[in-house]
Chain A
Amino acid sequence: MNRRFGARWLLWCALLLFSGATEAAARSYPMDTMAPRSDLAELIQSVYVQVTLWDLLVLVVVIVALFLAIFWFSTRFGEPGEEPVQFHSHMGLEVAWTAGPILILVLITVPTVRAVFNTQPYHWPKEALTVRVIAHQWWWEFRYPSLGAQTANEVHIPADRMIHFELESADVIHSFWMPALGGKRDVVPGQINQITLVAKVPGEYYGQCAEFCGASHANMRFRVFVDTAEGFQRWVADQLKPPVMPASGLASEGARIYQNAPCAICHRVKGISGFSKQYEGGFRGPDLTHFAGRSTLAAGVLDNTPDNLATWIQDPQTVKPGALMPRLGLKGHELTALVAYLESLK
């Protein structure tokens, strides 16, 4: 356990008050579950509000009854007074407060059961876009089987079209959660779960793994970009283009370093490095063919800037403890060359 805990405790208190004040002002809540942006999320929101209102009604009844009882019947300690009436049962009252909750529960159960059957359709229209989501220990891999595109940690989906996410896991149980676009669904190894939704409002939405999956469970985030129809077409076209092969300069030097460094064992850049045959280990890294096109790095932990990329390559463990990417020991010029090359992979 961290030995410096005692000495720095006071520092945290000072920091708390300062950061608390500034943070409260920030309006944006990217992971807000109450901002539905898809049909699935709106359905959930409607049931959410109904049940919450019924709950608040019951809560108010209990609070009023309790505080009335306390203030009317509490006495100063030891104050003499006549013995209270020893009534201890009243059939009408007991039947009432059994029937009441049952009635409320029926009113809650009807929309719930209807929503349950709507959110898990058995079959979906053919023209729905299938997106295979493969969860690894601490990053997400997305594949578009019908379009042939493949990306990591950032998924692009067209607005106003049925999307059918097929969730598979490559190791342990994860949970694919996009608060704005609908609830979460566990990604269980050995079975393919599914989420089917129609995103309505284009924009960038945050997502995070919700089922505890090991050391870096907190660093397993992803972004969902809901594009307009033509925006999505443009993105797919970019993804299908072959990777940029820099002719000269720092980037080409970086390309050479990339090829003989161990990067090629786990990562794939289409056309340059496939997975080397002799490597049987099950692990694979994200596909880097269009790495520069992504706005975040290391599963949404850092923004995709050259110096962030440099810190990540130099020592992945500080950014994502337990990450399976080894420390390559690249320094100085070689490192900047490799970073330049990777940043050129638009």
Chain B
Amino acid sequence: MAAQPKEIAGQRPSYLAEGGLVGWLTTIDHKRVAVLYGLSSLFFLFVGGFEALLVRTQLAVPNNHLLSADTYNQMFTMHGTTMIFMVIMPLEIGFFANFLIPLMIGARDVAFPRINALSFWVFIFGALFMNAGWLWHALPDAGWFGYANLTERYYSPGMNIDLWDIGLLILGVSTLLSGLNFFVTIVNMRCPGMTFMRMPMFMWAMLVTTVLILLAFPALTVGLIFLFLDRFIGTHFYVAALGATPILWQHLFWIFGHPEVYIMALPAFGIISEILPVFSRKPLFGYAGMAYALVLIAFLSYGVWGHHMFSTGMGPVADATFSITSMLIAVPTGIKIFSWIATVWGGKLRMTTAMYFALAFILEFTIGGLSGVMHASPPIDLQQTDSYFIVAHFHYVLFGGMMFAILGAFFYWWPKITGRLLDEKLGRWQFWLTVIGFNGTFFPMHFLGVLGMPRRIYTYPAGMGWTFWNSFETACAYLLGVAFLIFLVNLVRSLRSEQAVGDDPWDARTLEWSVGSPPPAHNFDDIVTVRGRDAFWLMKYGSHDAPGHDSSAGARASAAHAEAGHAHVHLPAPSWYPLLFAAGLLVMGVGAMTWLRVVFLGAGLLLVSIVGMGFEYATYGQETEESRATFFRGVDSRKMGMWAFLGSECVFFACLISTYMVYKARNLGGPDAAVLDIPLTSFSTFVLLTSSLLMVLALAAIQRGDRKWSAIWLFGTAGFGLVFLGGQVYEFSKLYLVEHLAMQDNLFGQTFYTLVGTHGTHVAIGVVWLFVMAFAALKGKLQQSRSLAVEIAGLYWHFVDIVWIVIFTLVYLMRSIKEA
């Protein structure tokens, strides 16, 4: 927050109070990290908007020469990637969810504060890395989805696609980590009394979103790793000449792609489900139905990705199946829309700007959803896909849906975040300009789609009947630009104003309004007990004779009690390691584009920051009283975090193994699975199984408090791990030198080396982790109370062992099975 909001008299010290530049660089308070996310994504919002205006101006008239072809391709690609990965997701997940989750569930902070800071720094470095293309006129230019073999080195030789590939990998790490963090926070750190069915609906939306993130991003990571190997090492994962097929990229991308659009949609549903009840003074209609709709959308979203690929010819059976599942997903969305209208029905509506945006959301999102149902049926999709009809559909869903919800959220939660109200008059101006500009820009795109204007064309001939609508849209697009400028003015003016706003200006219903606005650094003075849905509304208007109601009349204890409460709260200290981790990742990315040794430098930075974070706090691995109080049936957050991470690793290895089995039948020539050496790998399997045994013995020893034996077993496990790695290095070199199985010219070779190599890398990471543990045990730092650290390392190690069991069977023992 460049302009430090002036301290208002009588205001308790808010989270924005202390910390200069160093305070902001090392902060791990979820509210300050959220503000950092908010600022950077607002900046990228205007960058994306600028790219959109360039695209619209180029299309204003036929045969326009404002932008050259490749500049236009770069602009529309960056508009898509920026708006999705650097604006909507960071705003919804990094800014609003990050700020509000702990406040809404009555927690002091997120489950892993340092990972929260780390995911911000990784996000900002990834975004800057991808946008570095502005300097050399080499921005990514193959569309936000980057379909295969146009992204191969042969067809896009420049560094454009490298920036996109590595940038997305870095952004993926950031989103995956924040998803993991919020999942554990919501499941594990709800205040007493707040069961799943009493959480605010925004918490349900974020819980389901984090599950989607955890299980969708691995598919994108696998696809990007294959593209990275294709472009840098010369493998042919998507090149048809060697028997591979570019359709594999489309499958992997859209397995991530459709859950991704729900990762963006569900937080917006949550925001709307929070705004509507407050300004209608009525509880949300059909709470159970809404939660059920969220869960059903999440489950079905993994079964619908094929509707992006109807025109690639997957065959009638696949088209019919994906069409049915895609239409099924419209049912839960219908439940939500009707429930929102029922929430507004019969209420006393206060038409603030936030309410205007929420109501406009319902209308615009319905239009977008219904135009979506049209191309869920394959015959219609053959006419509509890759035409401007699709552009109209997803802008109605993304802009009319997500952006309206985000703007509504800004107007609704701004007093909570900054302690000031956004000006309603400016807000009204901005709302009407946005609605007119939005509908004017994007509704004619339905006509252009029906009139056959394809997507992503940098110019079009005259006489096709498209010119009028394109010019009309460009004019309205500038109107939108003006609306967003008004929004910026509104934000800046409110930060400079002196106007003090009470803690609860909207007489709202959820817990975050029970603390001060802006809230103090430690959120809650004493942990709240919740007795029903809309916890704060019950505190204000609930009957006071209900059993178990605490003595203090209102939610806010008296100031004196607050001061006392303030003292005993222990806030974790700021730390430099998240910034170091992100810097290490950035250096690795830059190294991949320049020299290999820079990659190793980056990896070193990464290792230092991880080990540093590991031992930064004296209580690492200990379950403090504070953290145990609020756990979900006594389950430790760190263990739940590891299990969630292993869950997403399951999907990661599933994609890798399916690629191996799919490509095994398509190998055109050269050595194939018959060259694999079974005796050697059988020995490796025994080695890994024994290392698992040693691991659990080490854990048993630590839990008994036996320091000597725990060190011995840990060194034994790490040693056996090394033996396994040695076996693998020997096997790879024998295959490469003796059997001439190379990655570059053999489809089986590349899938085999990638799959077993990735597993080998996981084993290597495990070995390093175990050696660090072993030395810590040797030096006495791993007491019995910190046995959880060894248990978590054990979970990771056993998971790596399980994956090897699957690989050993599917790859080695079934080598003679030809067709998968």
Contacts and interface: CB of A to CB of B under 8 A. Distances in A.
Direct contact between A and B in the complex (CB less than 8 angstroms)? yes
Interface in B30-86: 54, 57, 60-62, 66-71, 73
A119 B467 contact: no
B471 A189 contact: no
Contacts of B451: 29, 31-33
Contacts of B320: 112-113, 116-117
Contact of B379 (A19, A29, A81, A115): A115
Interface stretch (B286-294, B556-564, B700-708): B286-294
Contact of A105 (B330, B345, B457): B330
Interface size class for chain A? Answer: 35 or more
B458 A66 contact: no
A296 B788 CA distance: 73
Interface in A162-182: 171-173, 175, 177, 179, 182
B348 A93 contact: no
Contacts of B54: 1
A188 B245 contact: yes
A65 interface: yes
Contacts of B378: 112, 115-116, 119
B346 A85 contact: yes
A148 interface: no
Query: Chain A CB within 10 Å — which of B319, B454, B455, B467 has the most?
Result: B454
B134 to A, nearest CB: 9
Nearest to A9: B57
Contacts of A1: 54, 67, 71, 137
A69 to B, nearest CB: 5
Given A29-B451, A108-B327, A183 B363 contact: no
Contacts of A211: 147, 311, 386
Interface in A1-20: 1-2, 5, 8-9, 12-13, 15-17, 19-20
A315 to B, nearest CB: 14
Interface in B332-352: 334-335, 337-339, 341-342, 344-352
A63 B243 CA distance: 52
Given A73-B280, A84-B280, A28 B287 contact: no
Nearest to B334: A101
Contact of A173 (B73, B246, B455, B474): B246
A66 B359 contact: yes
A88 B283 contact: yes
Interface stretch (B368-376, B491-499, B576-584, B676-684): B368-376
Contact of A32 (B73, B384, B386, B452): B452
A34 interface: yes
A228 interface: no
Contact of B465 (A26, A69, A186): A26
B68 A321 contact: yes
Interface string B128-146: 0000000001000011000
Contacts of A235: none
A90 B243 CA distance: 57
Nearest to B143: A212
Contacts of B346: 73, 84-85, 87
B348 A218 contact: no
Contacts of A19: 61-62, 467-468, 471
Given A29-B465, A84-B348, A109-B324, A47 B377 contact: yes
Nearest to A213: B150
A184 B73 CA distance: 22
Given A173-B150, A218-B460, A20 B281 contact: no
B155 A214 contact: yes
B148 A69 contact: no
B347 A84 contact: yes
A329 B245 CA distance: 40
A194 B316 CA distance: 13
Contacts of B382: 44, 119, 182-185
A175 B379 contact: no
Given A84-B280, A189-B149, A211-B386, A16 B471 contact: yes
A179 B452 contact: yes
B452 A75 contact: no
Contacts of A33: 383-384, 387, 449-452
Given A105-B330, A184-B385, A84 B351 contact: no
A73 B472 contact: no
B316 A116 contact: yes
A322 to B, nearest CB: 6
A88 B287 contact: yes
A48 B288 CA distance: 35
A166 B137 CA distance: 39
A58 interface: yes
Contact of A183 (B142, B285, B374, B379): B379
B61 A89 contact: no
A24 B468 contact: yes
Contacts of A119: 378-379, 382
Contact of A89 (B287, B337, B373, B455): B287
Nearest to A35: B452
Interface string A32-62: 1110000000011001100110010011001
A163 B277 CA distance: 59
Contacts of A247: none
A105 B323 contact: no
Contacts of B284: 88
A43 B379 contact: yes
A217 B457 contact: yes
Contacts of A28: 463, 465
Interface string B429-470: 000000000000000000001111111111111111101100
A2 B386 CA distance: 28
A77 B377 contact: no
A182 B313 CA distance: 15
B61 A73 contact: no
B380 A51 contact: yes
A115 B382 CA distance: 12
B463 A15 contact: no
Given A1-B67, A212-B455, A75 B349 contact: yes
A63 B363 contact: yes
Nearest to A83: B281
A184 B474 CA distance: 28
Contacts of B285: 87-90
A193 to B, nearest CB: 4
A55 B283 CA distance: 29
A23 B348 contact: no
Given A55-B370, A75-B350, A218-B458, A105 B150 contact: no
Interface in A205-251: 206, 208-218
Nearest to B147: A173
Given A55-B373, A69-B341, A23 B335 contact: no
Given A1-B71, A16-B474, A29-B451, A189 B246 contact: yes
B464 A31 contact: yes
Nearest to A29: B465
Contacts of B397: none
A29 B313 CA distance: 28
Given A171-B155, A218-B459, A59 B366 contact: yes
A105 B464 contact: no
A172 B149 contact: yes
7 contacts: A1-B67, A5-B57, A12-B61, A23-B468, A32-B465, A63-B363, A101-B334
Given A33-B383, A100-B334, 15 more contacts: A8-B66, A16-B474, A29-B451, A44-B380, A47-B380, A51-B374, A77-B350, A94-B339, A98-B335, A173-B312, A183-B383, A184-B386, A191-B240, A210-B455, A214-B150
| 3 nearest CB pairs, A to B | A183-B382, A190-B240, A31-B452
Interface of B: 54, 57, 60-62, 66-71, 73, 137, 142-143, 147-150, 155-156, 240-241, 243-247, 280-289, 311-313, 315-316, 319-320, 323-324, 327-328, 330-331, 334-335, 337-339, 341-342, 344-352, 359, 362-363, 366-367, 370-371, 373-374, 377-387, 449-465, 467-468, 471-472, 474-475
